[in-house]
Amino acid sequence: VVIWATSTMRTRGDDVAEVLYLMGLRPIWHPGTGKVLDLEVIPTSELKFPRIDVTIRSSGLFRDTFPNLMALIDRGVRMIAALDEPETSNFLARNVRVDMRELMLSGLAPDEAQRRASFRLFSDKPGCYGAGVDVLLEVGKWNSPEDLGRAYVDWGGYAYGEDAYGVSEASGF
């Protein structure tokens, strides 16, 4: 899912709510202010679908404007990834476990492997904006669609979350 700051502002967060719902989360609202305080897991008995493994590519402006939402989404990802549910009803947890095993086989410590495997929120390198594709198109420095895809991944392959700010993670993205 691609999330833009202006869309989030215009819809008052519908795109973020959609991402959370696809993972099987709902907000906990402050009764007086309507501010989101935290998230709660929707029981699988209430969901009409399995928990979806959602990868988010946010714009640089969203990253800079809504660090609170970046942290909230990341916290939600880790909540769902930590659930002990069947693989057929929690694709996110299944995929995090698979990625974690692969990262540990490559030599990462379990804690680091788990953190890297749970990255689902990506954006540009800190201080940068754009997808990189426009630059290649403008200067004509590409030969194939793969070149454009590589630029998109390289430019957008920086992970964000509660304890991560611009971690270079193009392979995870």
pLDDT in tens, 75-104: 999 999 999 999 999 999 999 999 999 999
> Which amino acid, 134?
D
Q: What is the mean pLDDT of residues 131-151?
A: 90
- What percent of the chain is predicted at pLDDT more than 70? 100
159 vs 130, higher pLDDT: 159
- Rounded CA-CA distance 64/82 in Å is 28
The pLDDT, as a whole number, for residue 34 is 82
- What percent of the chain is predicted at pLDDT more than 90? 90
Q: What is the mean pLDDT of residues 96-114?
A: 97
**Exposed, middle or buried: residue 57 (CB in 10 Å: 0-12, 13-18, 19+)?**
buried
pLDDT in tens, 5-58: 999 999 989 999 999 999 999 999 999 888 899 999 999 999 999 999 999 999
CB 151, CB 133: distance < 8 Å = yes
Q: What is the mean pLDDT of residues 116-137?
A: 93
What are the DSSP E strand ranges found in 32-84?
36-41, 56-58
Tell me the whole-structure pTM to 2 decimals: 0.92
